Chain A
């Protein structure tokens, strides 16, 4: 009987079964950032411990960094305090830090892959739930809390329970105007936001196989929004091509050897899964969330649901918060802000797709629109292609790299009960920095369309004006 990638990676990284029955799992790559680590470093200092593997620990700053006026000290003293704390911790414990001003700075889940740190067959942990992103490479990657960050720093290990594996096969061709974001939002809507509890999601099927690494990262990124702490795609030629030549990827002969090993880590053809689900790509449409969690979404042609059944109270609460009426079409809902960025959709291909929609157009009156590249590298690559000019000409603000308005821990926040078309990952109440702010999750192309028209718009209508293959 064959094994899944999850089982292979697990077996290889298992140190022992702990007396309690949990697994002591070795962590191959530990990524850290400013928000979830200061207390962990304090715990090490208090106990007089060193970092076990500073060579396998990499730091950057992303959550709280301003996306303009980045000169130090930051205007926000608390933000300055947090960055200074990370700088001191990295210096004291010998951890490389890609700080403000470094060309490698960016959202931790964007820079790991682009530096080639993220590789197939690894275990990867980070104090952030969107660590599942790295699963796009065939790594087993998951978010952890600060006490577990302390454990990984101190021992390079974590105590964790084995996961079941659900294979989600996406078969057939995605229609034009339907993106990786729509695929994962559909999966979450169908399986539920708690449906993945206890599972790793293995994304498979020809639609996933045709996806670029950027697209696979978008899908894996939001696994946690479906309750699955881990999501992954088996490594293949697309993965290897992406990795070749990256700074931390193996070079020369080592790359050839690595490639053979990476291939061997993919799930076997006769692997047995705990559950299987199939999604037909051809049936998918652009998706928009109407509620206050990522599972509360509908197709752009759809109508906001009626409060009924067991979820009656949740649906009624969500509609009331969002200011929507049951039965109302989601298309046409006015937006105040358009946000393109985040670890979900802040990569170069996302910016290209969005730029293709806005080129030659203008942001609607009264709409604040901003593009926040996921990393300095994405920002520079986009600028080399002139995407910054395209966005600026259309009336978008072009910012520096960080998490920004995905969670509003920096100065980029919604105000009052503004409605934001967002390419990010969470539409929880208050998520974007205003306790009454409202978020509509959608693909970057759909955010671009909403920015241009000032309302939720079917991007397929705008795409009719853009010849296929032209961005």
Chain B
């Protein structure tokens, strides 16, 4: 497989508080109107960021101290909503290389895996610990070790979970599935041939 082997992700973190952050927040639909994913990084959380500016605040994605961060820390059910891959594509293009959250919406989780963006879960109290560390010291460097199932930050180490097959896919580069799915075409045809709705009732 030509895909990158992802075993650890190390870098500064960006804490993004809030439950049920949906795909339309992450990437508003108007930015889906393009035939490429290029440039999506500029529009990540665009509406929230503009709203924050209007009320005199800075959205975490606009905080100067979080520029260059590569690990997103979020709360419950992150990425709920649409199947738009534009959401994880935008985050990855912005520079996010891993997400730690209490939980993820299923399609978002799968779409992230498809582009080699690990999503790991942690308990609410452990997520809170990470957020506190980063909010106190935005320069703190986190290290996620997929194999060990750990995320280390200065002064705190937490357990992170990732389904075994997802971890293996990321660590062996098998997350880029197309080649794998194409290499047994005869077997695929055999399955298709025995389906009555394809072979004729």
The answer to whether A and B belong to the same complex is yes
- Which residues of A come within 8 Å of B, CB atoms? 12-16, 18-22, 24, 26, 28, 35-36, 38-39, 42-43, 47, 49, 52-53, 56, 63-64, 76, 78-79, 81-82, 85, 119, 121-122, 127-129, 131, 143-148, 150-151, 154-161, 193-194, 197-198, 224, 227, 229, 250, 254-255, 257-258, 261, 293, 311, 313-314, 317, 407-409, 426, 428-431, 433, 435-436
Within 8 Å CB of A194, what residues of B?
20, 76-77, 80, 103, 105
Say whether B125 faces chain A, with CB atoms less than 8 Å apart: no
Given contacts A20-B168, A38-B35, contact A224 B30 (CB under 8 A): no
Give A258 to B200 CA distance when docked, in angstroms.
9
Interface residues of B in 183-198 (CB under 8 A from A): 184-185, 187-188, 191-192, 194-198
Contact between B180 and A15, CB atoms less than 8 A apart: no
Give me 14 A-to-B residue pairs in the complex whose CB atoms sit less than 8 angstroms apart, sorted by A's number.
Answer: A16-B184, A26-B191, A28-B198, A147-B115, A148-B110, A157-B181, A157-B188, A257-B196, A311-B19, A313-B18, A314-B19, A428-B22, A428-B24, A431-B24
- In the A-B complex, list the 4 residue pairs whose CB atoms are closest, starting with the nearest: A145-B85, A145-B111, A21-B165, A147-B114
Give A119 to B29 CA distance when docked, in angstroms.
30
Which of B37, B47, B195 touches A435 (beta carbons < 8 Å)? B47
Number of interface residues of B (CB under 8 A): 64
Which of A144, A155, A314 touches B83 (beta carbons < 8 Å)? A144
Residue with the highest number of chain A CB atoms closer than 10 Å, among B111, B163, B178: B178
Chain A, residue nearest B190 (CB):
A15
Given contacts A154-B181, A428-B22, contact A28 B195 (CB under 8 A): yes
Chain B, residue nearest A131 (CB):
B83
Chain A, residue nearest B181 (CB):
A155
Contact between A197 and B35, CB atoms less than 8 A apart: no
Give 17 new A-B contacts, CB below 8 A, not counting A18-B174, A227-B106: A18-B177, A20-B174, A42-B35, A43-B178, A52-B185, A82-B35, A122-B197, A147-B115, A150-B178, A193-B77, A257-B196, A313-B17, A407-B24, A408-B30, A426-B22, A429-B22, A435-B47
Contact between B83 and A64, CB atoms less than 8 A apart: no
Within 8 Å CB of A314, what residues of B?
18-20
Contact between B20 and A18, CB atoms less than 8 A apart: no
Given contacts A24-B181, A157-B188, contact A229 B172 (CB under 8 A): no
Within 8 Å CB of B166, what residues of A?
20
Say whether B66 faces chain A, with CB atoms less than 8 Å apart: no
Within 8 Å CB of B180, what residues of A?
18-19, 24, 159
B28-40 vs A, CB cutoff 8 Å, 1 = contact: the mask equals 1110111111000
Which of B25, B32, B105, B191 touches A35 (beta carbons < 8 Å)? B32
Given contacts A16-B184, A28-B197, A154-B182, contact A407 B29 (CB under 8 A): yes
Give A331 to B201 CA distance when docked, in angstroms.
52
Contact between B47 and A143, CB atoms less than 8 A apart: no
Say whether B84 faces chain A, with CB atoms less than 8 Å apart: yes
Within 8 Å CB of B200, what residues of A?
254
